[in-house]
């Protein structure tokens, strides 16, 4: 079982549910995460150019695996995830998946910032402003360990 999560995570269930809702956490294979890093979209490449190397005073990782989800960019220090949303994210089925992902990350104490692909490509300054704003917002919420 090395490399996979052995525990189960309790998911949000309707209040009237008498049975606990559980799901087995399945770890996304490392090879798939590497493939996502190799095959970045133009928006992901542009965002990574801005985020890498602590350019915004925060260390980000790209295509980061968080339990059974992968986020486009993640900063461990501020528990901030960034997702770049293309056209597919406006489809109802994808919107449901995105909402489930966001709810789950929130239960882990991770804030998710969603930014449209077009914004990254067309207005990099606005992208940087939103990320900085999110980092500053997280600074106020973080408690010292």
pLDDT single digits (tens) 112-121 = 999 999 999 9
CA gap 131, 117 in Å, rounded? 14
CA gap 112, 81 in Å, rounded? 5
CA gap 75, 89 in Å, rounded? 22
Number of H helices, E strands in the chain: 5, 6
- Give me the pLDDT at residue 89, please: 62
Cβ proximity of 84 and 72 under 8 Å: yes
Cβ proximity of 25 and 3 under 8 Å: no
- Give me the pLDDT at residue 97, please: 86
pTM, entire model: 0.73
112 or 11: whose pLDDT is higher? 112
Ordered by where they begin, the domains of the chain are 29-141 (3.40.960.10)
| Torsion angles phi and psi, residue 113, rounded to 5 | -105, 120
**Which residues on adjacent β-strands are paired with residue 111?**
80
């Amino acid at each position: 079982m090395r490399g996979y999560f052995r525990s189960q995570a309790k998911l949000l269930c309707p209040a009237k549910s008498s049975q606990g809702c559980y799901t087995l956490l399945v770890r996304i294979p490392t090879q798939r995460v590497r493939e996502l890093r190799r095959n970045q979209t133009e928006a992901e490449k542009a965002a990574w150019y801005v985020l890498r190397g602590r350019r915004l005073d925060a260390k980000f990782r790209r295509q980061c695996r968080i339990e059974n989800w992968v986020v486009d960019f993640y900063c461990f220090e501020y528990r901030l995830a960034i997702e770049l949303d293309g056209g597919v994210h406006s489809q109802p089925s994808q919107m449901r998946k995105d909402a489930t992902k966001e709810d789950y990350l929130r239960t882990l104490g991770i804030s998710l910032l969603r930014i449209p692909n077009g914004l990254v490509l067309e207005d990099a300054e606005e992208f940087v402003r939103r990320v900085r704003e999110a980092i500053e917002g997280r600074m106020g919420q973080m408690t010292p360990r």
